[in-house]
Amino acid sequence: MNLCADDSASMMEALIATAADPQGCPWAVVPPPPRPLAPVTPSDVSRSFSATATSPVPAPAPHLDKEMLHERLQALIEGVRDSWTYVILWQSSVDTNTGESLLVWADGCYKGCEEDKRKQQPAAASAASAAEQLRRKRVLRELNSLIDGDERSSSANEAAEDEVTDSEWFFLVSMTQSFVNGSGLPGQALFSGDPSWLAGADRLAVAPCDRARQATVFGIQTMVYVPVSPGVLELGSTQLICHSSEITSKIRILFDFNSLQMPLANAVAGSVLSPLSLAASTAVNQGEIDPSELWFADPSLVEIKDFVLPNSASVEISSDENGNFIGSKRNSSAATIVASNLFSSHQIAAAVPDDNMNNSSTGAMSMPRSNDEAKLVFSSAPGRPSSIALMKCSPGGGSIGEFLEGADSDHSDTERSMRKMESSLLTDPEKRPRKRGRKPANGREEPLNHVEAERQRREKLNQRFYALRSVVPNVSKMDKASLLGDATTYINELRIKLQSLESEKEGLEAQVEALRKERQSPRARSPHLGETTNGNGRCYGVEMEVKMLDSEAMIRLQCQNTNHPTAMLMSALKDLNLDVYYASVSVVKDLMIQQATVKMSSREYTQEQLSSALYYRMAAELPPASR
Amino acid sequence: MNLCADDSASMMEALIATAADPQGCPWAVVPPPPRPLAPVTPSDVSRSFSATATSPVPAPAPHLDKEMLHERLQALIEGVRDSWTYVILWQSSVDTNTGESLLVWADGCYKGCEEDKRKQQPAAASAASAAEQLRRKRVLRELNSLIDGDERSSSANEAAEDEVTDSEWFFLVSMTQSFVNGSGLPGQALFSGDPSWLAGADRLAVAPCDRARQATVFGIQTMVYVPVSPGVLELGSTQLICHSSEITSKIRILFDFNSLQMPLANAVAGSVLSPLSLAASTAVNQGEIDPSELWFADPSLVEIKDFVLPNSASVEISSDENGNFIGSKRNSSAATIVASNLFSSHQIAAAVPDDNMNNSSTGAMSMPRSNDEAKLVFSSAPGRPSSIALMKCSPGGGSIGEFLEGADSDHSDTERSMRKMESSLLTDPEKRPRKRGRKPANGREEPLNHVEAERQRREKLNQRFYALRSVVPNVSKMDKASLLGDATTYINELRIKLQSLESEKEGLEAQVEALRKERQSPRARSPHLGETTNGNGRCYGVEMEVKMLDSEAMIRLQCQNTNHPTAMLMSALKDLNLDVYYASVSVVKDLMIQQATVKMSSREYTQEQLSSALYYRMAAELPPASR
DNA sequence: GGGGACACGTGATGC
DNA sequence: TGCATCACGTGTCCC
């Protein structure tokens, strides 16, 4: 399946409205429209943009820019001899409300990989399991039906034909990804100005970026981020491609719109596009929002006042326990998938409510639910118009930028602005879609605003829930309480790991230190060891390190030389039935370093058991740092 | 202020109903009663226990056991020459609903510390800030008024007199602490069966137990946990007290109720006391629940059906940003505080709602709020009776036990059971205290249960929130959304740290590896040390050589490697008060060679004295030639 | 007085 | 069918 063609625009709309953050945020902001208590009439539907300043309403069809951009992407990916699988332009933009910077999907081009070429053969060993394939296909099928109309049967038949390869899937779901305030590798590249090149799954796996880590799951071997003037280019390949500065500089030339004057320039030159530029996911049988009405605009100049998606099509995307996404792609025979139009996943979002998708299956087009984790539910008969909004995903793996963002950052500002749109719509008594289907309120006037505020608050809270879930692995049961509990235990888990790692690190550092010293003065081991260390007054904590090899263990204990630490250690070893066959004790001023090699005879301990047993014994009896 | 006397029982009730988990769970479960929309009449008040099985209703006054237990605690703390500040018995119990094991406060005795003796002088530099003192006093004052009745002015005057020292405070708030499933140091001690001794603030600070870490904040220097048959004894001191096995064994003897038959035995012999044994916090002017009605019972036999706290006095306790608790203690001139009766903080809890204590300040006895974090609010005219419940704290620092507990653990089962009690009460149409002060509902019958269920759900969610907050440091704004956001960023932060640490560790390991190899190769250091000595099968006698130069001595000891000669030598050196500053141990087959350089500090020996002293000691304990 | 935050009761949904 | 979960509107409090 070649994904690089412009002919599947409607599919893209759907996709953009559906795909989920690979692992960063399986849920999106807007819950699917609730049960249609008060069915909306067409008159309920409204949409309005209003430019607050000089910038006019965006041009309805800036195809030139779009195409220009896409051409270059295509040229880049095809012109280079390396076998890149895809390229994505992450667009830099700024949230007008918070001033936070964002990197969002702008455009992308998927060339394919070896697997794509093989996949027509059903026997081809696909990296994705059959179940996963089914899931993906179902998602695509569903999206297809979403676009084509109600005839699910026909599209379903078409959809079953070709596989969705891992890399293809990864590319597709990328459209919903975004990076806040320099988070992730894209953010780092953007802020540092330096490209980063990660070749090899191992590199990716340890990258400080969930996206990179996620990529490995989908067979990506190489990822490259190159800052360009409108944002950051991402190249990905299922093959291992070693660094060549040639390509990065080529990219810079091709995509530095600041230095080149081109039609595209006036759109992206400011390197800031509107995070609020909206693209509507076309609803079934609903032409009111033309997917081709896509526009570039300076976010600082444009403010969207009201926006409502009639008969909103919300598709839920979740991620299963393995972190695989469940997204959606239209089944298309097109050779190339193009997701251009500078859509931002921050505007068009997959909506995955946290209530186990309860509220959507009653929609007119509700999906039959399946038991697996792919919870794609689609509802086209909302009770009230759903605003289009989505969360800023905090990429799961914790990019540095993400947490540098600090505690004060508001994770839901885009969402809030979206809410505001809706709010102002709702204040319009004409088009007000009968609130929520509940109480008409006793003719109050004040609650009107209050209700909206509360709505926003709830939404914000949910935002946070989604974000939290995105960073907590193995959330047991899709429900809020479980999430909170799991988050708590997960944090504890992390802290413990951190603690042990830290001590291990310290131990290793000391070891290195010792070895270094030993190397420098191999034989000068006078009983006084020389005054190798620091001046007086220094205090030492108890450091211990245990390394185990088979039935033998190496123990290093560093502590203050008071209270006869040697006796402590040795009797501890005795109590643990460990036979010493090598030991050394050195004292430098008031620091004592003991090293021992022991053999387990009767009982066997794991390294951790031994370590903690010894540590607690030591800790209980030894004074810590004198401090 | 000496806290060790039985005369302030009522105060204790209050305390137990107020103090909060030091840092594990600053909030407790039950929100304060809302605004008194429908004031309760005395007839609304009911309480009933029902024993489901053979076990009869508990004896109304098991004072013998209580006193016996307490006597021993007192004896322990006063009889020992070390200056222990307090002792606490953590009681092992089992949650009947979940089968989880709990360690809860059973009894405690506060002896005091140096600071206590100095504190009458107002100029004494207290570790607690003036604001903190004010906070503590206000809490105590409030509790006092809670107990004495409504005259807040008079008790307030009394309360202002003496300071609440840090250690005192720590002791007081301990009463609400509990440990789930072997979490924290108490849990470890309980499960391992081994005592642990932490001497020094640094040791405490790095302990895998929030309680220990928290203790350091309050000036505790030494903490000891000794498993005893009913649970775990905790000794604490503001002084540094080094390990002496004497005291731990003494404790074991004094408190091993299983091996001794004593009146107490039949109460605690099973080492399991009811986690549901309830002690009621006496409400103002309300004698219906007698604080002296405290009882031991086997939880498997007793089930509490209905329980409601009339005119419930709920006191909110929170923790400020520094993790200091804001708790409560009655101002009492008593010399000793006694918190006995095997109260469990799981039954009597501080209630700190997460809504920034909004709902309580309208209570009849509401506290004037201050701007700092000490949010003590007290309401004694509830709209409906508050059930008594509390959360299982998940100790913040992440004890291993805690997170081993897994994701499936339900953090709020005790609370749930409590809720059930209330629920069954509420179904009683007579005593129903008009739900929540809101809608009377349009004469529905079904919502009655639904409402309650929803209440429970909310409460559970809040539970989780509290738990989560307890493990997330630096929660920016006391509100839920912030908490969620902060938790998310915190998790990311931890993950990043973990990652970087891991890579650092890897790097260091590689470094060590390299250095090791380097060290081995240049020297061709054969690992077997060469066959310097005789062939196999030969037996060695104990050879020792002592060489003395001034106050230092070089010792060489050669013996057979059985019976842990290293421990022998080292403890011999310890007993002789010789400080080791260099030592090495090598083993060749079954021959061990120890070399040590020691320094005489206090006592001086001649070379001969030392030699013979050591020799005889060694010869006495080491097997001579195996022959 | 108004906005933010929270708990509550309630209707509704899915298992 | 209960039971758990959720979102919603509302009352209320505090700043």
| pLDDT over 70 percentage in chain A | 42
* Residue A109, SS3 per DSSP: strand
Separation in Å: D7 C1' and A452 CA:
13
DSSP H helices in B222-345: 245-255, 265-268
**Is the pLDDT higher at B405 or at B607?**
B607
Separation in Å: C1 C1' and B377 CA:
26
Q: What is the pLDDT of residue B137?
A: 67
The answer to whether some atom of strand C lies closer than 7 Å to the beta carbon of B476 is no
pLDDT band at A140 (very low <50, low <70, confident <90, very high): low
Q: Which fold has domain B65-118+128-149+160-259?
A: Beta-Lactamase (3.30.450)
Q: What is the pLDDT of residue A544?
A: 78
Rounded to the nearest 10 degrees, how much is the dihedral formed by the CA atoms of B149, B154, B155, B158? -160
Residues of A (451-480) placing their beta carbon closer than 7 angstroms to any atom of strand C are 453-454, 457, 460-461
Q: Distance (Å, rounded) from C-alpha A316 to C-alpha A310?
A: 17
| Cα A37-A40-A46 angle, rounded to 5 deg | 140
Look up tokens 């039985």; give the residue.
B6
Per-residue pLDDT averaged across A446-459, rounded?
A: 76
| pLDDT over 90 percentage in chain A | 1
**Is the pLDDT higher at A560 or at A93?**
A560
User: A43-57, B322-336, B496-510: which has the highest mean pLDDT?
Assistant: B496-510
Q: Are the beta carbons of A470 and B488 separated by less than 8 Å?
A: yes
By C-alpha to C1' distance, D11 is nearest to B438
Spell out which residues of chain B touch residue A416, defining contact as CB-CB under 8 Å.
Answer: none
| Secondary structure of A382-445 as H, E, C letters | CCCCECCCCCCCCCCCCCHHHHHCCCCCCCCHHHHHHHHHHHHHHHCCCCCCCCCCCCCCCCCC
**Is the pLDDT higher at B475 or at A355?**
B475
Q: Are the beta carbons of B196 and A482 separated by less than 8 Å?
A: no
Q: Are the beta carbons of A567 and B571 separated by less than 8 Å?
A: yes
pLDDT band at B324 (very low <50, low <70, confident <90, very high): very low
Nucleotides of C under 7 A from a protein CB: 2-15
Q: Are the beta carbons of B201 and A461 separated by less than 8 Å?
A: no
Q: Distance (Å, rounded) from C-alpha A17 to C-alpha A388?
A: 9
Q: Which of B484, B505, B557, B577 to mutate to test the interface with A (most CBs of A within 10 A)?
A: B484
Spell out which residues of chain A touch residue B501, defining contact as CB-CB under 8 Å.
Answer: 498, 501-502, 505
* Residue B480, SS3 per DSSP: helix
Spell out which residues of chain A touch residue B523, defining contact as CB-CB under 8 Å.
Answer: 522
Backbone angles phi, psi at A492, to 5 degrees: -60, -45
Closest CA to B90 of B112, B73, B107, B74: B107
A334, pLDDT greater than 80: no
Contact A494, B498 (CB under 8 A): yes
Cα–chain-centroid distance for residue A201?
18
Structure tokens at A573: 């070893």
Residues forming beta bridges with residue A232, ordered by sequence position: A90, A227
Q: Are the beta carbons of B585 and A580 separated by less than 8 Å?
A: yes
The answer to whether some atom of strand C lies closer than 7 Å to the beta carbon of B464 is no
Separation in Å: C11 C1' and B429 CA:
24
List b or e across A310-332, with b for residues whose CB sees 16 or more CB atoms inside 10 angstroms: bbbbbbbbbbbeebbbbbbbbbb
- For residue B470, the chain A residue with the least C-alpha distance is A488
Q: Distance (Å, rounded) from C-alpha B373 to C-alpha B364?
A: 22
Q: Which fold has domain A542-621?
A: Alpha-Beta Plaits (3.30.70)
Q: What is the pLDDT of residues A522-568, one digit of tens each?
A: 544 333 322 223 333 334 467 777 887 777 888 888 888 887 888 88
Q: Are the beta carbons of A491 and B503 separated by less than 8 Å?
A: no
Q: Distance (Å, rounded) from C-alpha B228 to C-alpha B189?
A: 9
Q: What is the pLDDT of residues B423-470, one digit of tens each?
A: 333 333 333 333 333 333 334 344 567 888 888 888 888 878 877 877
By C-alpha to C1' distance, D15 is nearest to B371
**Is the pLDDT higher at A211 or at B348?**
A211
pLDDT band at B139 (very low <50, low <70, confident <90, very high): low
Q: Which of A570, A578, A586, A590 to mutate to test the interface with B (most CBs of B within 10 A)?
A: A570
Nucleotide nearest to B483 (CA to C1'): C5
Closest CA to B24 of B397, B371, B293: B397
| pLDDT over 90 percentage in chain B | 1
* Residue B352, SS3 per DSSP: coil
Nucleotide nearest to A355 (CA to C1'): D6
**Is the pLDDT higher at B305 or at B99?**
B99
Q: Distance (Å, rounded) from C-alpha B606 to C-alpha B196?
A: 38
Residues of B (49-68) placing their beta carbon closer than 7 angstroms to any atom of strand C are none
Per-residue pLDDT averaged across A82-93, rounded?
A: 85
Q: Distance (Å, rounded) from C-alpha B368 to C-alpha B375?
A: 10
Separation in Å: C14 C1' and A499 CA:
42
* Residue B46, SS3 per DSSP: coil
Q: Are the beta carbons of B492 and A398 separated by less than 8 Å?
A: yes
B371, pLDDT greater than 70: no
Q: Which of B465, B528, B581 to mutate to test the interface with A (most CBs of A within 10 A)?
A: B581
Q: What is the pLDDT of residue B109?
A: 85
pLDDT band at A132 (very low <50, low <70, confident <90, very high): low
ipTM of the complex: 0.34
Q: What is the pLDDT of residue B235?
A: 92
Separation in Å: C7 C1' and B497 CA:
38
**Is the pLDDT higher at B100 or at B440?**
B100
B564, pLDDT greater than 60: yes
Nucleotide nearest to B371 (CA to C1'): D15
Q: Across chain A, what does the average pLDDT equal?
A: 57
Judged on CB neighbours under 10 Å (0-12, 13-18, 19+), A59 is middle
B232, pLDDT greater than 80: yes
Q: What is the pLDDT of residue B528?
A: 31
Nucleotide nearest to A30 (CA to C1'): D7
Q: What is the pLDDT of residue A467?
A: 77
Q: Sign of torsion, CA A553 A558 A560 A566?
A: positive
Residues of B (336-355) placing their beta carbon closer than 7 angstroms to any atom of strand C are 353-355
- The residues, any chain, with a CB within 8 Å of residue A366's CB and separated by 6 or more, are A360, A377, A378, A379
Q: Are the beta carbons of B484 and A471 separated by less than 8 Å?
A: no
Spell out which residues of chain A touch residue B194, defining contact as CB-CB under 8 Å.
Answer: 616
Cβ contacts below 8 Å, chain A against chain B, sum to 303
Structure tokens at B154: 């008079």
Judged by average pLDDT, the poorest of A112-126, B269-283, B587-601 is B269-283
A93, pLDDT greater than 60: yes
Q: What is the pLDDT of residues A179-227, one digit of tens each?
A: 776 777 888 888 777 788 888 887 787 777 778 877 887 888 899 998 8
Q: Distance (Å, rounded) from C-alpha A407 to C-alpha A409?
A: 6
Separation in Å: D2 C1' and B20 CA:
37
Tell me how far apart the terminal alpha carbons of chain B are, to the nearest angstrom: 66
Q: Across chain B, what does the average pLDDT equal?
A: 57
Q: Distance (Å, rounded) from C-alpha A134 to C-alpha B468?
A: 37
By C-alpha to C1' distance, D3 is nearest to B453
Q: Give how far Cα A327 sits from Cα of A134, A136, A282, A318, Å.
A: 12, 7, 17, 7
| Secondary structure of B18-38 as H, E, C letters | CCCCCCCCCCCCCCCCCCCCC
Contact A447, A58 (CB under 8 A): no
List b or e across A247-266, with b for residues whose CB sees 16 or more CB atoms inside 10 angstroms: bbebbbebbebeeeeeebbe
Domain range list for chain B? 65-118+128-149+160-259, 542-621
